[in-house]
Structure 1
Amino acid sequence: MSGYFFSFEGPEGAGKTTIIDKLANYLYKKGYDVISTREPGGIAISEQIRKVILDQNNDKMDGRTEALLYAAARRQHLVEKVIPALEEGKVVLCDRFIDSSLAYQGYARGIGIDEVFGINKFAINNLMPHFTLYFDIEPIVGLQRIQQNNKREVNRLDMENISFHERVREGYLLLVDRFSDRIRLVEADRPLEEVFNEAKMHIEHFIEVHEQ
């Protein structure tokens, strides 16, 4: 595969989607063939699974069921959209990937990072992102951003208590240390242009190094 697979992670309200949109536009203008996508979702089957996972009425969903549904959506998204794009040499910008499952279900839900990683190894068949940006923000700040954004969907995870979101962040920070060769932390509680410029710098540097 000749393309680049970049994933973008962070707690609720970290601003990932906005940065991805700006990066996609920037890279397109520089001549790259870019697609942006999201998890869970990105293609019809995975979007249907997304509705089940994030439906506010599904408050009885077991943590392992949740993890398995995410993995199933991830698999279909990969084979139907991400892998074909990479084979065509495209730059793929993905809003969430495996690290979300590790932080949310593995750590915050208490299932275990390694246990959830095992489920996802089966789903992804060893296809990891080339590079990941983690946008770090205090949970209370991220949730306040969500409340102020009328255009953003409010899903089942947004309704969790603050301690859950704090555990999510703890999980992400553990992953930043564990996968330090792949993940870079970006402080997200700053003006948008500052966050975008740092994200752009990391992505451009990665591409430049691997195109030499």
Structure 2
Amino acid sequence: MNEYRGTFVTIDGPSSVGKSTTVAELGRLLADRGDSVHTTAEPSTSELGKFTRAKANHIHGRALACLVAANRYEHIDVELVPMLTAGDTVLCDRYLASSLVLQQLDGVPEPFVLALNRHILLPDLAVILTADPATIAARLAERGKRHRFHDDPSGPASEVGLYGDAAQTLMTLGVEVLVLDSTMSTPADVAKRIADAVPTSGGSVKSPTAPDDHTVNS
């Protein structure tokens, strides 16, 4: 039995693959099966998280990577660990995989990002949503640009490729990874497939202070 009773699930992927809608639908499905579900996102809703979100278009490179990591450690301490300790299934919209992708798009090498995140909690299940780059580009055009990473026309293809790399990195860290293509699937369909993969009891999240902690190693 691990220290935390809950299960930690992260959902990452390029913009416009349906992450937020999928998280909401997944939460409903898990609650229907009897899980106590807590949904959250990064950047978090703390003052530091709000600052990070507001300044992400103005702060670049290593500085932004450090800011994102600082908010993540705060998020772990004040929200994730308490919810997992209480036995909740925690669903987080964006986590380490997003850092591995977005910070690299911002010119930060992966080893630097991994070093910053060396002592974070790793998820029991990391879901990577993906889609055809042309589909992503069409959705972005319809929705409108929301941050500077959308300015590059080759961005969708670059993100899809980097999320594939991030999935491999997470697996080398011992994380169970589920990659799902949402091109032809509804968020409800995707959520059902994730729900089927989420453990029904007990998590594999370890304490960051334990000698054999399940944390990122650079």
TM-score surpassing 0.5?
A: yes
State how far apart, in whole Å, the 1-side matches of 2:77 and 2:148 are: 26
Q: Residues 64 and 164 (structure 1 numbering): CA distance in 2 closer, same or farther, change over 3 Å?
A: farther
State how far apart, in whole Å, the 2-side matches of 1:29 and 1:42 are: 26
State how far apart, in whole Å, the 1-side matches of 2:85 and 2:43 are: 21
Q: Residues 39 and 190 (structure 1 numbering): CA distance in 2 closer, same or farther, change over 3 Å?
A: same
CA deviation digits over 1:146-172, x for unaligned, max 9?
34348xxx4224533022332222111
Pick the aligned partner of 2:122 from 120, 128, 138: 128
Gaps of 5+ in 1: none
In the TM superposition, what are the counterparts of 1:48-197 in structure 2 within 5 Å?
48-54=51-57, 58=58, 61-106=59-104, 108-121=105-118, 125-149=119-143, 154-180=145-171, 181-192=175-186, 193-197=188-192
The residue that corresponds to 2:8 in the other structure is: 5
Contact 1:23/1:200 (8 A) holds in 2 = yes
Q: Residue 162 of structure 1 aligns to a residue in which SS?
A: coil
Amino acid across the alignment from 2:84: L
Q: Residues 166 and 52 (structure 1 numbering): CA distance in 2 closer, same or farther, change over 3 Å?
A: same
Contact 1:12/1:143 (8 A) holds in 2 = no
Structure having greater relative contact order (Cα 8 Å, sep ≥ 6):
2
Deviation, 1:43, is 3.1
Contact 1:12/1:158 (8 A) holds in 2 = no
Task: Output the aligned Cα RMSD.
Answer: 2.2
Contact 2:26/2:192 (8 A) holds in 1 = no
Gaps of 5+ in 2: 205-218
Contact 2:10/2:123 (8 A) holds in 1 = yes
Deviation, 1:82, is 0.8
Q: Residues 42 and 92 (structure 1 numbering): CA distance in 2 closer, same or farther, change over 3 Å?
A: farther
Amino acid across the alignment from 1:207: T
Identity in percent? 23
Q: Residues 165 and 157 (structure 1 numbering): CA distance in 2 closer, same or farther, change over 3 Å?
A: farther
State how far apart, in whole Å, the 2-side matches of 1:208 and 1:81 are: 20
Q: Residues 80 and 208 (structure 1 numbering): CA distance in 2 closer, same or farther, change over 3 Å?
A: closer
Q: Residues 111 and 44 (structure 1 numbering): CA distance in 2 closer, same or farther, change over 3 Å?
A: closer
Contact 1:8/1:134 (8 A) holds in 2 = yes
State how far apart, in whole Å, the 2-side matches of 1:70 and 1:209 are: 28
State how far apart, in whole Å, the 1-side matches of 2:61 and 2:146 are: 16
| Count of matched residue pairs | 197
Contact 1:136/1:188 (8 A) holds in 2 = yes
Contact 1:53/1:69 (8 A) holds in 2 = no
Q: Residues 69 and 139 (structure 1 numbering): CA distance in 2 closer, same or farther, change over 3 Å?
A: farther
Pick the aligned partner of 2:194 from 184, 199, 207: 199
Higher helix share: 1
Q: TM-score, normalised by structure 2?
A: 0.81
Pick the aligned partner of 1:21 from 21, 24, 27: 24
